[in-house]
Structure 1
Amino acid sequence: MKTAAIAYRVSDFLCRYPPFQYLRESEVLELVAGGKVAFHEDGEIVFAQGQLRSHYVYVVQQGVVRLVETLPDGSEALRDVRGEGDLLGIGRYLGIGEHIYTARTGTDVILYALPADRFWEIIKRHPRASRFLGAYFSATITPSGLESEYGLSDALRLGRRPLDWMSRRLHQLPSALTCVPHTPVREVATLLATSGADALTVVDPHGAPLGLISVRLLSDLVASGALSPEAPAHALMETEFTLAAAERPAGAYMTRMLDCNTDHLVLTSDGSPGGRLVGILDRRALARAEGAEPLTIVEDMARAGHISELAQLLIQGEATLSASLTGPESIRWLAPIAAAFQATALRRIVVLVEGALAQEGLENPDLDHCWVFFGSAGRMELLTRHDLDHGLVYDEPPNDLRRDARGYFLELGRRVSAALAACGFATSAKVISSGHPSACRSVAEWERAFTQWISDPVESCVYRATSFFDLRPVHGDCRLVERLERHIHGEEDRNPAFVPLLVSDSMANLPPLTFFRGLVIDDDGAYTEVLDLQRATLQPVVDIARALVLDGGIYRHSATLDRLQALTPESDEAAVLIEETANAFRNALYHRARTGLTTGSDGSRVDPAKLTRLEQNLLKAGFRTVLRLMEYMGGRYGVTSRR
């Protein structure tokens, strides 16, 4: 590249694409000065699999380059397609001295070859360029020195509200206000009044918490005359309170409050009842850390007097989620917040509908029952108001009341489903609804259904029913769901072929290969204009994580990310794969939420042309991770993926 005119023309081209657009012009010109232009005709080899790397990295200026892998049987598999502005030959930065794929031109191609060592040194100076180059690699195996996360500046640049406060640990908490069980209530009132605290903890002789007394509880019982001021504190205290470990991030406390629907958290050293008491965190204290808005919305939902009022609060909650959706890491906090909005809405709707049925004179069978979420709502992965899968489990009625009980709960379910629709929850043909007999059953009927799905999965078409295995209790008697979960895991133990079949079903569709010129390309070269995130990344990971926890006897978790975290990898390679899978899933869930909240859809269908190159590369890395996960599962369970 001898003339200045050519150098500037090449520099102008490079600066239209990342990572070069993040560099100074002088740095790009320096790279161009040390490089060269290469031309290849259609069908030529740029570099071959197993060939030692040259001293250059390549940028495609014009044309199409296909990366193919030669398999042990001599056949070739397409691994990627690169076009204008894409990089080639960067595997060197992982310490790989030989090319792992063959680069073959698919048209006449012009390449800019740039000095690899100088390129590396310049890229590392610029965080955004560094992040972009890191996205070419997997989410967890990134060359040393490259950043891979969005910084605060990116959130501010995008005009969104950063959630950095949710990751901040709360170190300075008010001193724990305590009393012993026999302390008179009037002394408790004095302690609360003089300290300005909202609650105190009743402790045993060793300082472990026994109960909680809040100002509201005190005023309700004492002012009403229901309890004498001379009564002991243990007669007033609430023995059911919510515990949490001290020195956790603010976001962990907020989501805990939302999940448990409480205004107070009793903090102990390790989060256990026997741990050393550290303090009480109330909603006001958390509000000082900026977390008031979701808590206020949930509180207002719990008091809503009409469905229309609830609908407006859900719109407000959705706006909060949208404003806070800064990147994939924000999903960690926003998914539980969205789950709390949905659960609170359902609880309030149930109360309002039950009241309306009572006024109409419809006889309540007075049976214990529990409302549950299934599918993405059950896994706390639903951030839009689309397909809120919900159902009802009720206790076994006497034989002579079966028909009446079923009629009541079905009518209750139909009205609750209608109220959810009035609140803006859109439904598709696949939604699970409590107003349908398949999602409104007695606990014994549910047990029989799960027995059939597990013992005869092919005949019972279990692939259509896997969302039912992601049940999460939301409102009512949770013991019914606990009984059902024990039954599910007992049936799974008695049917060892069930999990391998789930694994096989999870690999029914391979993820796409790559993006190219605004299209989604499959490994057979077929293309589509829309990326289906559910099919490409989310559903395979959900299905595989569900199968793994069932196989491992892990009963505690329903969220996919929690399920992945709960697994015990058998090797370092498996641990890395699980971490990569979690990152790929979180990234796909972020894009689904962003698309859904922006367009008012469920967010699954994304236009690739609207994605930046960085976003495309991160999603493409996720496709590769899902494929590796399928290969790992295939080897572990003896099944093969199929398109």
Structure 2
Amino acid sequence: MKTASIAYRVADFLRRYPPFQYLDEQELLELVAGGRVVFHEDGELVFERGQRRRPYVYVIQKGVVRLLDYTDGEDDEPHEVLRDVRGEGDLLGVGRYLGLGEHSYTARTETEVILYALPAALLWEQIKRHPRASHFLAAYFTVAITPAGLDGSSSRADELRLGRRPVDWMAQPLEPPGEPVVCQLRTPVSEVARALADQPPGAAAVVVDAEGAARGLISTRALSDRVASGRMPLAAPAERLMAPPADVLPPGLAAGRYLTRMLEMQAEHLVLTEDGRYTGPVVGVLARRDLTRAEAAAPLAIVEDMSRAGGIYELSRFLTQGQAFIAAGLTDADALRWLAPMATALYAAVLRRAVILVEGALIAEGHAVPELEHCWVFFGSAGRGELTTLYDLDHGLIYAEPEPGQRRAARGYFLELGRRVSAALAACGFVSTAKGIVSGHPSACRSINEWEIGFTYWIREPLESGVYRATSFFDMRPVHGDCSLVARLEQHILSEKERNPGFVPLLVADSMANLPPLTFFRGLVIDDEGRYTETLDVQRATLQPIVDIARALALDAGFDRGIGTLERLQALAPEDDAAGVLIRETIAAFRNALYYRTRAGLTADSDGSQLDPSNLTRLEQNLLKSGFRTVLRLMEYIGQRYGVVPRR
């Protein structure tokens, strides 16, 4: 009876913690029956680095254990380095599941400690039978290095869910549309109308040249607006009525790819060709109606409504609907693959409509409008397509260089336009903090020559100019207007970078100015020197270092497009298999941290960067801890490449 009573007490303790809480009672009792209780005094070694593993995995029942590593110091003596702090309910010795026969770290007690030593082989077999237990154990490792047989997917992990409408369907290949209506450049409009008469509402015909390349689209709306109204004769050739295709993509992509592209381009249709090129054979036309799911229709309809909003109040209501869609779809970190570009498209639609409304008001007031091409631009997280809350929508304005006598008037007009647009965005619900970039400020509203001078100063004199405060300007995305201005500025940046080879190493050094924290312990955030804080700044701990390193690497590689952090990382050619693994781990760590920031921001109506560890589950803490380790490894790898030492 006494032995049975002890077994039940141990099982009761275990079921309070994952992964054991996902096992059934009989499995727990079987596990406990094959285990033993181990007691250690303060300062004793549980195991040492390099020691052969015993056939157990340990669970801390009471006390604190430190995991230690050793590095060579300047005096060639090994220096002790703290790698983790673990307490009640935490596991020790799970590295065996990676096939490591020896311990990677030394485990030393910091207090009196009671451990439950459980049979490792039996625990492994039990965990593999339970997806949620499997997912939790996988979080002790990394996304790219997970023991074979574990289900690292979060699809069935309730701890990661905020929304109730998953966007898993976006990853599924879209069924190809039916046979397209195709006509030649000289085909009479009357024949095009007859061909489209039997098509569903919203259909379009593809106009091709003699080689079969897509040259334009004719929609049923165009026929209604221009032909049925009598503005264009039925005998007119198709090329007079067609509009250029918004974009061309290959068939068979995930539904989310088509949806996000429609949002970005504000397109009603996408042309599908065999190879995804304009010169390829046309195989279909994808219309909005083909995205039949309610979730797919929502962002498309919201963006369309935004484009017709009659005022700022109405625009703000549509933005609220868009944020509700984002929150509802935020099921896990992978959902951001689709939700982040959707949020960017929604915010871009708000900016575009606000600009149109404000420009109309200025004209009505009698302001003289300079005849200068200009482009509205997103910077920072919005420029990278990573802004998922309404905080700090960094935006600015680039306008063509005016004649010398017109510079003052042009600057006055565009600054007034920027101030009013910034105010309109604030009225819609966007919040700009002290560090935000807004078009109403002279630093973000400049002529193209002034922008080029500014970037030249940042690149040639990075220390004097304080470039570390201006790195967000290097992440730019054209939103509305003449995009060639942005292309010119991007080319100028790359040219200046080539002429100043010391600029990228300095960016790398700045990106490693702060090491990530070490671990969580009893609701606190612990750094490698044992200091603690009560909140985690997930932006500073994980997101910002990855953003800064990816930006520097992209500039070094000569990328000439303002793309996001994940795209920058994916575009890098890894030097070897280890570098490839690290890039995949970094991508997962970034997306995971962005998920928690988004979840916190949408829940608390904040920017989401400050997280309370006591409100995180153990699974969530382990996933974030894995990200800390990945950021540190990334810093060490990049530091060796550029000769920079990460520092706190």
Distance of 2:433 and 2:198 partners within structure 1: 56
- Indicate the SS of the match to 1:234: helix
Q: Does 1:390 align with 2:390?
A: no
Offset at residue 427 of structure 1 (A) = 1.2
Given that 2:246 and 2:265 are in contact with CA atoms closer than 8 Å, whether structure 1 keeps it comes out as: no
Task: Tell me how far apart the structure 2 counterparts of residues 160 and 68 of structure 1 sit (CA, whole Å).
Answer: 42
Task: Output the CA distance in 2 between the equivalents of 1:222 and 1:156.
Answer: 53
Any idea what SS the aligned residue of 2:78 has? Answer: coil
1:437-458 deviation per Cα after TM superposition (whole angstroms, max 9, x unaligned): 0000000000000000000000
2:88 matched residue in structure 1: 84
Shift of 1:243: 1.1
1:70 deviates by 1.7
State the one-letter code of the partner of 1:375.
Answer: G
- Residues 470-491 of structure 1: per-residue CA shift (max 9 Å, x gap): 0110000001111000000000
Are 2:451 and 1:451 equivalent residues in the alignment? no
- Cα distance change on mapping 1:85 and 1:553 into 2, 3 Å: same
**Residue 154 of structure 2 corresponds to residue 150 of structure 1:** yes
- Superposed CA RMSD in Å reads 1.3
Task: Return the alpha-carbon distance in structure 1 between the equivalents of residues 459 and 293 of structure 2.
Answer: 49
Give the C-alpha shift of residue 557 in structure 1. 4.4
Partner in structure 2 of residue 17 of structure 1: 17
Distance 2:365 2:294 in 1: 46
Q: In the TM superposition, what are the counterparts of 1:85-124 in structure 2 within 5 Å?
A: 85-124=89-128
Q: Secondary structure at the match of 1:287?
A: coil
C-alpha contact (below 8 Å) 2:162/2:330 kept by paired residues: no
Report the Cα distance in structure 1 between the residues aligned to 2:454 and 2:562, rounded to whole angstroms: 22
In structure 2, how many angstroms separate the alpha carbons of the residues matched to 1:200 and 1:240? 11
Q: Deviations over 1:243-286 (max 9, x none)?
A: 11211111100000000111100011121101121100111111
Answer whether contact 1:156 1:162 (CA < 8 A) is retained.
no
Alpha-carbon distance in structure 1 between the residues aligned to 2:498 and 2:210:
45
Counterparts of 2:438 and 2:605, CA distance in 1: 21
Could you tell me how far apart the structure 1 residues matched to 2:458 and 2:497 are? Answer: 10
Between the aligned partners of 1:427 and 1:290, the Cα distance in structure 2 is 30
Equivalent residue number for residue 317 of structure 2:
312
Cα 1:156–1:43 change in 2 (3 A) is closer
Match of 2:353 in 1: 348
Cα deviation digits, residues 351-382 of structure 1 (max 9, x gap):
00000000111100110000000000100101
Give the structure 2 partner of residue 267 of structure 1: 272
Take 1:30 and 1:63, find their aligned partners in 2: how far apart are those partners?
A: 25
Query: Quick check: 1:436 aligned with 2:435?
Result: no
Say whether the 8 Å CA contact 2:131–2:156 is kept in structure 1: no
Residues 29-68 of structure 1 show CA distances to partners (whole Å, capped at 9, x for unaligned) of: 1110000001101111100111111111100000000001
**SS of structure 2 residue aligned to 1:75:** strand
Output the CA distance in 2 between the equivalents of 1:324 and 1:619: 21
- Gaps in structure 1 of 5+ consecutive residues: none
Distance in 2, Cα, partners of 1:154 & 1:257: 31
- What is the alpha-carbon distance in structure 2 between the residues aligned to residue 155 and residue 29 of structure 1? 26
Name the CA shift for 1:142/1:70 in 2 (closer, same or farther; >3 Å): same
Q: Is the 8 A contact 1:60 1:109 kept in 2?
A: yes
The 10-residue stretch of structure 1 (376-385 or 65-74) with the greater mean CA deviation from structure 2: 65-74
Residue 349 of structure 2 aligns with an amino acid whose one-letter code is T
How do 1:294-373 and structure 2 match up within 5 A?
A: 294-373=299-378
Give the CA deviation at 1:135.
0.4
Tell me the residue number matched to 2:547: 542
Q: Secondary structure at the match of 2:465?
A: coil
Using the TM superposition, give the Cα deviation of residue 227 of structure 1 relative to its aligned residue in structure 2, in angstroms. Answer: 1.2
Q: Deviations over 1:567-608 (max 9, x none)?
A: 111111101000000000000000000000000000000111
| Bigger Cα displacement from structure 2, 232-241 vs 7-16 | 232-241
Distance in 2, matches of 1:552 and 1:159, equals 38
Distance 2:178 2:537 in 1: 49
d(CA) in 1 for partners of 2:216, 2:309: 29
1:600–1:554: structure 2 CA closer, same or farther, 3 Å change rule? same
In structure 2, C-alpha distance between the alignment counterparts of 1:510 and 1:333, rounded to whole Å: 30
Deviation, structure 1 residue 157: 7.3
Q: 2:38 is matched with which residue?
A: 38
Change (3 A) 1:289 1:176: farther
Partner of 2:618: 613
CA contact (8 A) 1:269 1:277 kept: yes
SS where residue 458 of structure 1 aligns? Answer: helix
Which of 257, 274, 286 aligns to 1:252? It is: 257
User: Paired residue for 2:420?
Assistant: 415
TM-score normalized by the length of structure 1: 0.98
Residue aligned with 1:98, SS: coil
SS across alignment from 2:631: helix
Pairing partner for 1:168 from 168, 172, 186: 172
Letter matched to residue 188 of structure 2: P
Is the contact between residue 162 and residue 599 of structure 2 (CA under 8 Å) also seen in structure 1?
Answer: no
SS at match of 2:291: helix
* Aligned-partner Cα distance in 1 for 2:424–2:50: 62
Indicate how the Cα distance of structure 1 residues 153 and 497 shifts in structure 2: closer, same or farther if over 3 A, else same.
closer
Is 2:83–2:528's contact at 8 Å kept on the other side of the alignment? yes
* Aligned residue type for 1:337: M
Per the alignment, residue 486 of structure 2 pairs with: 481
Determine the structure 2 residue equivalent to 1:48.
48
Shift of 1:159: 5.7
**Could you tell which deviates more after superposition, 375-384 or 224-233?**
224-233
Q: Is the 8 A contact 1:155 1:162 kept in 2?
A: no
| Contact 2:477/2:562 (<8 A) preserved | no
Q: Percent identity?
A: 66
- Structure 2 match to 1:60: 60
Supply the AA of the counterpart residue of 1:145.
G
1:502 lines up with 2:507 in the alignment: yes
Instruction: Quickly say closer, same or farther: Cα 1:157–1:68, change in 2 above 3 A.
Output: closer
Number of the residue aligned with 1:193: 197
**What whole-Å deviation, never above 9, does each CA across 1:226-250 have from its counterpart, x for those lacking one?**
2110111112111343211211111
Is 1:14–1:20's contact at 8 Å kept on the other side of the alignment? yes
Structure 1 position 165, deviation (Å): 1.1
Kept in 1, the 8 Å contact 2:569–2:583? The answer is: yes
The answer to whether the 8 Å contact 1:152/1:162 transfers is no
Flag structure 2 segments of 5+ consecutive residues without an equivalent: none
Deviation string 1:270-304 (CA, Å, 9 cap, x unpaired) is 21101121100111111347410010110101100
Paired with 1:556 and 1:587, the residues of 2 have a C-alpha distance of 25
SS in 1 for 2:306: helix
Paired position in structure 2 for 1:516: 521
1:265–1:28 Cα change, 3 Å: same
Q: What is the identity, as a one-letter code, of the residue corresponding to 2:189?
A: V
Contact 2:207 2:242 in 1 (8 A): yes
Q: Deviations over 1:119-151 (max 9, x none)?
A: 111111111100000000011100000011122
Mapped contact 1:213–1:238 kept (Cα < 8 A): yes
Q: How far off its partner does 1:225 sit?
A: 2.2
- After superposition, the Cα gap between the structure-2 partners of 1:159 and 1:631, relative to the gap in structure 1 and judged at 3 Å, is closer
- 1:153 to partner: Cα distance: 7.3
What letter corresponds to residue 284 of structure 1 in structure 2? R
Aligned to 2:464, the other structure's residue is in SS state coil
